[in-house]
Structures are given as structure tokens and as C-alpha cells.
Amino acid sequence: MLIITWRTAIFFVCALPGVEILDPGQVVYSETRTNGVVGRGVILECGPTLPDVYIWGFTKPGTDTIRAIVYNFGKGPKIQKLANDLGNLTVISNSASLSIEKLPLAAEGVYTCQALYDTLEGAKLPFVITLTVPVTKPYIVMSDSSPVEGTSVTMRCGLENGTGPINYKWEQESRESQLTTVAEIYDDNRLNVTDVNRNHTGWYRCIAINQVNQQRSDRVWLDTIFGPDQPQIDVTPYSVTERGYSALERETVSLLCQASSNPPSQYVWFYNNSQVYAGPQYTINRILRMHTGHYACLAQNTYLNTRSRKTITLTVKDITKGQETLYCFVITLQSPLHALNVHLFLTYWGTNNPKFDMTSNLAQL
């Protein structure tokens, strides 16, 4: 923030040619505030009219030294070399006001105008001007870009330049490109996330806002590490019994294991505690009764060295017990002109004997 201040300091106590200094009585202070933006221009006024004598001084932030940048002792304004560091500085004609174009960051500081007026009112001194620096494009720094679920993470919205107060808005973009505002924080560039969970995974942006402008950062990915959850086993095809799942002999049975995890789970299948396969889907072609038993899926997160397990019972039924009977019906019709043989085949799966009604009007045959 560039603060330009004019303070009363009367150094001219002797009579100057053509200037009669009256008893000023009380020094008059006048303070005004305005905003200037880096890269733009600003006008610093020193009184409503041209003083008889004036000096403009500049003080860098953190110092007490006042250095002259412009003075006029009645013979016209004299611009000092220091003014070159403060931008394109000129004195507005018939006044003591300064015009500064293309303000640089080096122009930050306190400006003081000391002026004498030959009036009955005594000395007059104008105001304070605040020069505001626009916020630059922010950037995000994370304490941990891959936090483990249940831990904490802090994000900081960094800025190279910008005059406060600065407000910060934080946005999250999910994998599905859904944008959500997660926080709006006044004059604090940190976002603290405690008890991180998988829903915090996504892209994050911060927006820095001051009274001049606002800027948005590039997005940064937060990748929450978690899992594996309890596995889910899907059996295809299947039927459910009191003891678990069942299938028929000579069918192809597929066992699919899924467990949410980041990084993705690694899977190992066990049959009666013996490892039989590595991978999420275990397929048994032409399953037999000897395959009846306990099938367990072990899901592993190799990054966290964590694992979870689920076991099911699969019973394979004998396909020959009451499953297929073949019935063949032969109907023979005779006439003087020809003989007609009709053969009907029916396949039936089940344990009960089938009953069929073969009544039909065959007169048209």
C-alpha cells in the first residue's frame, strides 16, 4: 500500500522577497485519502491553490527519512532525481499538485507536502493518499497434496503483490466437473481442512480479491489416500441359499471383487484358504461339485500397506438329480391318399413328472 501523507512542518520563518509571512496562529491540517493502482496514474493535491512556498517529500516504508522530490521557493518547481524512481512524475501547472503516471512498486511509501500560504488563515496542509497495488495471480501451496484419510491438510493462497485487505475464495472442482465454493475467508490466505476424507479429493482454486481487482489461481489436485473398504463380491450366475450362494455343475461361474481404495486395490482370491488367483475377477469354467467351498477375496492398498477381506460360501449342485427328462411323442395319421407322421419332442428340467394335454383337432390334417 502506498501512503502519501502531507504533514505540517513550517521551516520558512524568515521573510522571503515578495512574501510577507503573517503570524499563522494554528497550523491547519487537511487530510484526504485516495487510491492509486500500480501501473496506472494518480494525482496528489497540495492545497486548493498554488502555495507561496512548498516542498514535496518522500519516505520509504519502515524508515523515518524524508527526501525531497519536488520543491518550489517561488521560482518554479524543481524536480529531484529521486522522483525518477517513483514513476512518470510531473507538477500540474499553476498548482502544487503532482501527477504520477505508470506507478511502480517502488512508489510505495509516505508522501509529504509542506506548504506556506501568505494568508490570514496561516499555514495550510492537505491530505493522505493511499496507493493500492492490484493482486497478482495467486498460486496454491499445499502442506500435503496426497493426505491420508482422517489426517489434516493446509492450503495457502500465495501472492507476489497486492494491497490488503485481501479476501480469499476457495473453490473445489470434483471429478464430475462440479464446481463448489468451499470457503470465503477475510484477510487470511490459509484454508485448513481437518479430518480429510475421500470427498475432499478434487481440483482446488483460490481467488484473491482486493478493492482494485481479483485474480484466480491455476487449479491444483488434492488426492486423498484411503482404503481399502470392505470388499463386495458379486457371483454370476447364482441363487441364494441359507448357506450362501449356489450354482449348478458345468456352469461357468464368475466371482467379481470390488473394494473402494486410492490407490486402487490389488486383489487376491483364496479357495479354502489356498491362493488360487490374483485379480479382481475369478472365473471358473464348467464348475464341478468338487469346487464347493469357501471363497475369499483379499483387497490390498499397497501404498498404505492396508488390507480387508470378505469370504462367501459357494455350493455346487449335482446337475443329474431331477434336472432333465426327454419326452418324445409320435402321432400317426392314415388316409387312403397318404400317411402323415408327426413327431413332437419336449425337453423338461425339473424333479416332478410332467403332464401334457395333447388334445387337438386334427381333422384338417
**294 pLDDT above the threshold of 60:** yes
Q: Is residue 191 in a domain? A: yes
CATH number for the domain harbouring residue 154? 2.60.40.10
What pLDDT score was predicted for residue 119?
A: 62
pLDDT at 242: 82
204 pLDDT band (50/70/90 cuts)?
very high
Number of domains the chain contains: 3
- Quick check: is 338 in a domain? no
* Confidence at residue 248, expressed as pLDDT on a 0 to 100 scale: 93
Q: Check pLDDT > 70 for residue 311.
A: yes
The confidence score (pLDDT) of residue 31 equals 60
Domain that holds residue 47: 2-132
Domain contains 329: no
| Domain final residue, candidates 132, 164, 185 | 132
Three-state SS for the chain is: CEEEECCCCCCCCCCECCECCCCCCCCEECCCCCEEECCCCEEECCCCCCCCEEEEEEECCCCCCCEEEEEECCCCCEECHHHHHHCEEEECCCCCCEEEECCCHHHCCEEEEEEECCCCCCCEECCEEEEECCCCCCEEEECCCCCECCCCEEEEEECCCCCCCCEEEEEEECCCCCEEEEEEEECCCEEEECCCCHHHCEEEEEEEECCCCEEECCCEEECCEECCCCCEEEEECCEEECCEEEEECCCCEEEEEECCCECCCEEEEEECCEEEEECCEEEECCCCHHHCEEEEEEEEECCCCEEEEEEEEEEEECCCCCCCEEEEEEEEEECCCCEEEEEEEEEECCCCCCCCCCCCCCCCC
Q: Is there a cis peptide before residue 228, judged by omega within 30 degrees of 0?
A: yes
Highest mean pLDDT among 28-37, 118-127, 174-183, 250-259: 250-259
Q: What pLDDT, in 10s, does the model give residues 33-44?
A: 666 677 888 888
Asked if residue 123 and residue 171 are part of one domain, the reply reads: no
pLDDT of residue 27: 59
Q: pTM for this one? A: 0.63
pLDDT at 230: 96
Percentage of residues in the chain with pLDDT exceeding 70? 74
Q: How does residue 339 score in pLDDT terms, banded at 50, 70 and 90? A: very low
Q: Does residue 116 belong to any structural domain of this protein? A: yes
Q: At which of 104, 132, 160 does a domain end?
A: 132
Task: For residue 350, name the pLDDT band (cuts at 50, 70, 90).
Answer: very low
Mean pLDDT of 18-45: 64
Any domain includes 342: no
